[in-house]
């Protein structure tokens, strides 16, 4: 694991779910906590993100295990699935999943009470574990969009507690419509896993058929760096390409009840509770 010389502070401020957050979770399928991480902590996370990107890139470029799905290039390297940007033969890293094992700073982030405490409320448990973790490095001018999808169809075949897999996106950069901020479809989580697309490639079934949700209910989640967006595994979400000169990097962590193994790694990673 590369050395992380700096670390983010541990917050011990209690941060249980508020009644309004519980309402939003039930009715809208998402809510935001703005500017939870201070600017110096965000800077530390950004530096860690660049270390992860460099490490994944180096490993992916020398590994033998590369493949294409629907024309896009992937590599299994450094214990992660590494996605390359969609532009033909791009060497730019788009997504790394999982990635927390690549940097101690992100390993500690999994235990941060500002994330773990609301997650316990959403999972409905006193202790939670990590389910999966990815970093999306939407680079200036090249960062591609994410088509509308739910996460639950990816996970339905893997475990029987898919309803208890809440996500949190940690914004590493100020996110706006210009740099391809995250978008959700309000209230799209209420009908479980929705039908996917047919006849649109190998991954088509994992993208949600727009006939089954209301595109007019989309909410662009513009938010300052250091904010947290919590969203349900059934919430339809996606984003536009980054056409700006600014990056839009973000981490997405998914939790589950404690004691269950992670999605891509056959190990249990319970969130550690500090004294």
Ligand X SMILES: O=C(O)CCC(=O)C(=O)O
Minimum Å gap between C-beta 275 and ligand X is 33
**How many Cα atoms are found within 13 Å in the side-chain-facing hemisphere of 215?**
7
79 to 98: interface string for ligand X, x by CB under 6 A:
--------------------
Binding of ligand X at residue 234 (CB under 6 A)?
Answer: no
DSSP state of 158: T
Query: Could you give the dihedral angle defined by the CA atoms of residues 179, 134, 34 and 225, in that order, rounded to the nearest 10 degrees?
Result: -50
DSSP letter for 42, please.
H
Distance CA(199)–CA(202), nearest Å, equals: 8
Between 25 and 148, CB nearer to ligand X: 148
CB of 250 to ligand X, least distance (A): 5
Which two tokens mark 170? 């940690």
Interface with ligand X in residues 119-138 (CB under 6 A): 134, 136
Sheet of 237-239: strands edge to edge?
146-149, 237-239, 182-185, 218-220
- Convert residues 136-175 into a mask of x (bound to ligand X by CB under 6 A) and - (unbound): x---------x----x------------------------
Q: What are phi and psi of 75, to 5 degrees?
A: -140, 145
Rounded to the nearest whole angstrom, what is the least distance from the CB of residue 101 to ligand X in the complex? Answer: 18
Single out the segment in contact with ligand X by CB under 6 A; choices: 31-39, 192-200, 234-242, 266-274.
234-242
Tell whether residue 30 is a contact of ligand X (CB under 6 A). Answer: no
Q: Which residues contact ligand X (rule: CB under 6 A)?
A: 134, 136, 146, 151, 182, 237-239, 250, 252
């Amino acid at each position: 694991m590369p050395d992380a010389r700096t670390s983010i502070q541990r917050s011990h401020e209690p941060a249980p779910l508020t009644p309004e957050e519980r309402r939003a979770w039930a009715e809208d399928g998402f809510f935001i906590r703005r500017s939870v991480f201070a600017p110096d902590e965000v800077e530390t996370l950004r530096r860690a993100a660049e270390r992860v990107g460099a490490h994944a890139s180096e490993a992916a470029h020398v590994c033998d295990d590369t493949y294409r799905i629907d024309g896009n290039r992937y590599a299994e390297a450094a214990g992660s699935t590494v996605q390359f940007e969609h532009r033909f033969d791009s060497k730019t890293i788009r997504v790394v999943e999982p990635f927390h094992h690549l940097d101690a700073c992100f390993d500690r982030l999994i235990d941060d009470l500002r994330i773990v405490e609301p997650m316990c409320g959403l999972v409905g448990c006193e202790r939670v574990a990590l389910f999966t973790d990815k970093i999306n490095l939407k680079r200036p001018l090249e960062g591609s969009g994410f088509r509308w999808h739910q996460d639950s169809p990816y996970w339905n075949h893997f475990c029987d507690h898919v309803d208890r897999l809440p996500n949190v996106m940690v914004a590493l950069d100020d996110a706006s419509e210009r740099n391809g901020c995250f978008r959700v479809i309000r209230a799209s989580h209420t009908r479980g896993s929705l039908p996917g697309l047919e006849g649109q490639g190998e991954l088509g079934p994992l993208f949600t058929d727009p006939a089954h949700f209301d595109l007019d209910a989309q909410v662009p989640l513009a938010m300052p760096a250091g904010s947290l967006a919590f969203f349900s595994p059934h919430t339809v979400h996606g984003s536009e390409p980054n056409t700006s000169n600014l990056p839009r990097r973000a981490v997405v962590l998914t939790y589950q009840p404690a004691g269950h193994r992670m999605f891509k790694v056959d190990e249990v990673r319970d969130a550690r509770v500090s004294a």
